Amino acid sequence: MKTKTPKQEIGYQSPLGRRGLRGVALVYLTVLLLIPLFVIIQDGLREGLTGLWHQVTLPIAWSALILTLWTAAIMTIINTMMGTLTAYALVRYDFPGKTIINSLVDLPLAIPTLVTGVMLVVLFGPQQALGALLKEQFGISIIFAPPGIIMALLFITFPFVVRTVQPVLLDLDRAQEAAATTLGAGSWTIFRRITLPPLILPMISGALLSFARAIGEFGAVVIVAGNIPLYSQTAAVYVLGEVESENRLGASAVSVVMIAIAFSLMMLVDWLQQRERKGSL
Amino acid sequence: MTASQGKPAKKERPELTTHPWGRRIIILIVAAYITALILGPVIALFAGAFREGPGAIQAALSQPGVLSAFWLTILIGLFVVAVHAILGTVVAWVFVRDRFPGRNLINGLMDMPFAVSPVVVGYMLLLLFGRNGIFGPLLAPLGVRVAFAIPGMVLATLFVTLPFMIRELIPVLENFGISQEQAAATIGANGWQIFRRITFPALRWGFIYGVTLTFARALGEFGAVLVIGGGVQGRTETATLYIYRALDERNYVGAYSAALILGIFSLGLVLGTDYIRRREQERN
């Protein structure tokens, strides 16, 4: 989305046609997007902010939200580092298998997240060779435990940081690095002082996108984490449980908190990307 | 959105700075990470599905309900693609070419389906169309069922796939500009002619990518259709819901085979489009 956005004059359309199209677009978005969002926010706030807070701080709901946040946070840290490193290797180096790695980066976007969950269960499930080995030798459980959640989130969000950092890295002017080399700077100094600074904003955008995406993740997590309250039950799985047991207050309250987190993160990403665009002009 | 960030394909520049060992270590780390994180699970799924031989896969997939689940998934996907292809193009056009109050706010909200949990999406529709929902009781006497029926699942899938088409088209439209359209208008072409002959051909690849990503995302939707559709076997069970049930019933070969087919199908869709585009670029 790194395109210039010049204010474009309205083209050839007659005012009537333009208004008609605008009407169609706005009705479509209102019906599909705004009404559902409005209804759930209103439902979550039915008993006011205190009522919402009460529902959210019930032990099982609270622990589900905290688990969702901390697994997403760990994923974000790993994903930001590895995503930047991957983008760096793909842009700067030539090596055998590079084309394959470049295509593998996009693979998670094309695979349904439920299928991702199934894959991880096949690999790490307690009845599988690798899962059993980890369990017996090291006492590590991945499936039906928080590490599985983090693995699933890492898989799903892998493209986000790579694909936000990569184009910026490609556009970077290499002359400054060459100049620094001439002046005798070491490669780490050059990376830290010259290459890294322009990458910070895209890294943050990618990190926030990954985090926002992870908060709501369901398909992979429900398979991998099981549904153990207070241990491996995430917020999305909690909402499903409350919907199924017809606890409307609890389901709506946690949903509203998740929507609020998603909304603020997406707005922040939007703002960062606009800033970045302005900075690069 | 992220999906719109196509693969940058610039020519490699010579390496300047990194020490040869630093370079080797970085490549090794990246290759190991991707192998463990992505390749490992993909291979495991193949191995899991083929553990009892190809015959078992065929037997598992020919069980009653599997074929109809895949059909339902494809039908919902096609319908959703058709709606977004038309209305998504209208929305993209309006957001690039038109200015109106509230435009920026709605533009920001348009990315929400990307971050809102699918479970919450299904639940929102349940609040609207469920038994105690807002519209549910109004529609019931008319014999229209949305919740726990196909219309609700279509709405849920429309919601989750909303940004893909629009976010593919907006940058292409912005880059295309309006000078050619204006030229056509000067020589007397009307709005529809201009769109069909000038604007749409320029949008073609953005449009094809949008369709592909929308379809792939629709095929894989799970949480939202689970909540609003209920996953009733033979009626509202899609491919993903079948996989979920098969796992639950410990029918592992069935679950793994269906997951493999679904994964290959959506991956093939995306890679196929990519391949065709690259071949066309090479030809030009």
Delimit the domains of chain B by residue range.
64-283
B85 CB within 8 Å of a chain A CB:
no
d(CA B37, CA B17): 29
Between A17 and B250, the higher pLDDT residue: B250
**Length of chain B measured in residues:** 284
Mean pLDDT of chain A: 89
Task: Please state the rounded mean pLDDT for residues A99-124.
Answer: 92
B31 in contact with chain A, both atoms CB, cutoff 8 A: yes
pLDDT category at A184 given cuts 50, 70, 90 is confident
Cβ neighbours of residue B23 closer than 8 Å, sequence gap 6 or more: A93, B15
Minimum mean pLDDT among A6-15, A38-47, B72-81, B133-142: which range? A6-15
- Closest approach of A34 to chain B, Cα-based (Å): 8
**C-alpha to C-alpha distance for A5 and A11, rounded to whole angstroms:** 16
pLDDT at B4 over 70: no
pLDDT at B7 over 80: no
- Interface check B178 vs A, CB under 8 A: yes
Contacts of B247 in chain A (CB under 8 A): 118, 121, 223
Buried-exposed string B248-269: b where 16+ CB fall within 10 A, e elsewhere: eeebbbbbbbbbbbbbebbbeb
Q: Is the dihedral of CA B67, B70, B72, B75 positive or negative?
A: negative
What number does CATH give the domain B64-283?
1.10.3720.10
Q: Does A196 touch chain B (CB under 8 A)?
A: no
- pLDDT above 80 for B187: yes
Residue B9 in this model has a pLDDT that exceeds 70? no
Ramachandran region of residue B218, left (φ > 0), alpha (ψ -120 to 50) or beta?
Answer: alpha
Determine the pLDDT at residue A13.
57
B243–A contact, CB cutoff 8 A: yes
Write down the pTM of the prediction: 0.90
Of A36, A86, A187, the CB nearest to B30: A86
Find the CB nearest A33 among B18, B112, B226.
B112
- The predicted model gives A169-173 an average pLDDT of 89
Q: Which of A269-273, B121-125, B227-231 has the lowest mean pLDDT?
A: A269-273
Rg (CA), chain A: 23
Nearest to A239 among B120, B125, B189 (CB): B120
Q: Is A113 on the interface with B (CB under 8 A)?
A: yes
- Which chain B residues are within 8 Å of A87, Cβ to Cβ? none
What is the gyration radius of the CA atoms in chain B, in angstroms?
Answer: 23
User: Counting beta carbons within 10 angstroms of the beta carbon of residue A185, is it exposed (0 to 12), middle (13 to 18) or buried (19 or more)?
Assistant: middle
Query: Does A280 have pLDDT greater than 80?
Result: no
Which ipTM was obtained for this model?
0.90
pLDDT (0 to 100) of residue A120? 95
CB B157 within 8 A of CB B218: yes
Nearest to A218 among B119, B155, B178 (CB): B119
Residue A270 to chain B, least CA–CA distance (Å): 7
pLDDT digits (tens, 9 = 90+) for A209-257: 999 999 999 999 999 998 888 999 999 999 999 999 999 999 999 999 9
pLDDT band at A279 (very low <50, low <70, confident <90, very high): low
pLDDT at A6: 44
Q: How many CB pairs under 8 A join A and B?
A: 306
Tell me, what's the pLDDT at B179?
A: 84
Residue B110's φ and ψ, nearest 5 degrees, are -65, -25
Residue/partner pairs of A43-46 with CB below 8 Å, 24 or more apart: A43/A248, A43/A252, A43/B127, A44/A252, A44/A253, A44/A255, A44/A256, A45/A256, A46/A249, A46/A252
Q: What is the nearest CA distance from B68 to chain A, expressed in angstroms?
A: 19
Cβ-Cβ contacts under 8 Å, A1 against chain B: 1, 4-5, 167, 171
Q: Does B203 contact A at CB distance below 8 Å?
A: no
- A58-280 CATH, one of 1.10.3720.10, 3.90.1010.10, 3.40.50.2300, 3.90.25.10: 1.10.3720.10
Can you tell me the mean pLDDT for B127-133?
Answer: 89
Distance of CA B233 to the CA centre of its chain: 24
Cα–Cα distance list, A69 to A64, A143, A222, B20 (Å) = 9, 19, 16, 39
Residue count (chain A): 281
Report how far apart, in Å, the C-alpha atoms of B230 and of each of A8, B68, B233 are.
Answer: 46, 16, 9
| Contact check, Cβ <8 Å, B174/A155 | no
Contacting residues for B19 by C-beta, under 8 A, at least 6 apart: A187
Chain centroid to Cα B141, Å, comes to 34
Q: What confidence category does residue A5 fall into, taking pLDDT thresholds of 50, 70 and 90?
A: very low
pLDDT at A78 over 90: yes
State how far the Cα of B228 lies from the Cα of B152, in Å rounded to an integer: 6
- Classify residue B190 as left (phi > 0), alpha (psi -120 to 50) or beta: beta
**Local confidence band at B35 (pLDDT 50, 70, 90 cut-offs):** very high
CA distance A169 to B264: 32
Per domain, the residue ranges of chain A are: 58-280
Under 8 Å between Cβ of B79 and B160: no
